[in-house]
A and B are shown apart, each in its own frame.
Chain A
């Protein structure tokens, strides 16, 4: 993942690499359309690797189809009898393909990847809030709503109680029922956070359609909202996981 990512700022490939190194025809990005030979990996981000614009709403079945198509063309076995340089390219292309596919097919990883491309550090908000509190001697402004923190804390207390009851074999049916109710509510919230995220995808995609070189302020306005959702989602994700473990054992 880091590989393609660090290479994003790289200059476009020299003109001559647009033709196949082997037969000289115009080539596709990863392999030559004319002779099928694998090409040296281009320094591109994952979206560009698949020939996609940096948009977040993705046709995943189409992506999967393209992944399998490219996998067959780029597989290292195909160049097993080729020269070592060609084998190396094939290996690099395949590994880039796998990383790109795994990142883009997952809605959260895809969002995180785009945020990184945009230079947004997920921890940045939290860090700068701490620094501001330090400078002013005040209280840090929490990144997520305080009632979410309260809810997370309270539910964790209940889970701990449930765990202790189980150890002493005291069955607290009322507590178990309450936690089970919470579980349903949490899963709904988890789902609705994804929908909220998708609404920001739409805003982002619309911006990219209107102006792919939009000013950073305009980009940040949308990416900031995505960071917010991802932050809240981390808490809910942990809670869903812990509630499930507590109810199972």
Chain B
């Protein structure tokens, strides 16, 4: 099996590798795993408080080339999107963009899981940050 050019490009020049401050209330962190192959992926987003737009995204993935490419692409795609827009990214979009073969589809699922996990973490922080408003309702 050979990797597509896009996978190789992301693998050789991964975009947005790194980390954001996990403890910041603007940052959501998703740590997910693919039990099929033992890969782990961490994806972090920094969200603008006013607009809900994802301003920054970072990832770190330990796994195969397709997992790295999927998460690299995911960070590119979520940047500039609102949280709700980012939630609509589906793994099949990633599969198409990277021409992933069927055996590597779970890598794209992992990236989708990671986006959702990061957003979920961020949302949880927002609820905790405004407990008074929630009670007033």
- Give the contacting residue for A130; candidates B30, B62, B113; CB below 8 A: B113
- Give the contacting residue for A139; candidates B34, B35, B90, B116; CB below 8 A: B116
A/B pair count, beta carbons within 8 Å = 71
A89 located at the interface, meaning its Cβ lies under 8 Å from any Cβ of chain B in the complex: no
Interface of B is mostly: mixed
Interface string of A127-140 (1 = CB under 8 A from B): 10010011001111
Given contacts A123-B106, A152-B62, contact A139 B33 (CB under 8 A): no
Given contacts A138-B120, A140-B113, A140-B117, contact A156 B35 (CB under 8 A): no
Min CB gap B108→A, angstroms: 11
A122 located at the interface, meaning its Cβ lies under 8 Å from any Cβ of chain B in the complex: yes
A248 located at the interface, meaning its Cβ lies under 8 Å from any Cβ of chain B in the complex: no
B35 touches A234 (CB 8 A): yes
Given contacts A126-B36, A234-B37, contact A133 B113 (CB under 8 A): yes
Q: How many residues of B contact A (CB 8 A)?
A: 25
7 CB contacts below 8 A, A to B, read: A125-B35, A126-B34, A126-B106, A130-B112, A139-B117, A140-B117, A143-B35
Chain A interface residues (CB < 8 Å from chain B): 122-123, 125-127, 130, 133-134, 137-140, 142-144, 146, 148-150, 152-153, 156-157, 231-232, 234-235, 237-239
